Amino acid sequence: TEQLGTIGAVASLPPWIDDVLIVNVDNLTSLDLGQLARYHREREAAATIATHDQPFPIPFGMLDLAGQRVVAYREKPKLSVPVSSGTYVFNRRAIDRVPAGRRFDVPALIDALLQADDTVAAYPHREPWIDVNDEAALVHAERLLLENADRWPGAIAAERGRVQP
């Protein structure tokens, strides 16, 4: 079987499905999915992307310049950048743009929607979130789970970074 990418499978949804909510399988978050879906519908967007600000440490002194003149010097700052939280809602306008039977990824769908001048909404949130795709992230996820246990009732963090339902 051919892998269909992060969004390709939605092309096989029956036509009576108006909206689809996609959560990347390697995400741990307490994002309220019902609230995200309501936000999406209220905006009548073709797509809504859950977003959060992600700090990125700069390992050097950063300069702000005006021409050749230094106007500020910040030693090893953290820059906060809005990023995708890997959680999306798509309506039928978006679903119908996904080609059937071949690999298609979310960035390509978003690009197609933007090229068609369709609405892509951002849903900013401050919920705990982590992309668990390696051992270091798994350890971080365990810590996140322990620090926010009230947001995941019934979940337990096991020894050595293994998160269990």
Could you tell me if 106 and 45 lie in one domain?
yes
Per-residue pLDDT reduced to its tens digit, 92-114 = 999 999 999 999 999 999 999 99
Mean pLDDT of the chain: 90
Could you tell me if 143 and 91 lie in one domain?
no
> What pLDDT was estimated at residue 156?
67
Residues present in the chain in total: 165
27 inside domain: yes
Give the structural domain span for 154. 132-165
Could you tell me if 115 and 140 lie in one domain?
no
Per-residue pLDDT reduced to its tens digit, 25-79 = 888 888 999 999 999 999 999 999 999 999 999 999 999 999 999 999 999 999 9
Could you tell me if 97 and 19 lie in one domain?
yes
- Strand order of the β-sheet with 47-57 is 19-23, 78-91, 47-57, 120-124
The answer to whether the beta carbons of residues 121 and 49 sit under 8 Å apart is yes
DSSP state, 44? T
> What pLDDT was estimated at residue 151?
79
Could you tell me if 100 and 121 lie in one domain?
yes
Indicate the number of domains in the chain: 2
> What pLDDT was estimated at residue 4?
92
Could you tell me if 39 and 25 lie in one domain?
yes
Could you tell me if 163 and 87 lie in one domain?
no
Map residue 114 onto helix, strand or coil.
helix
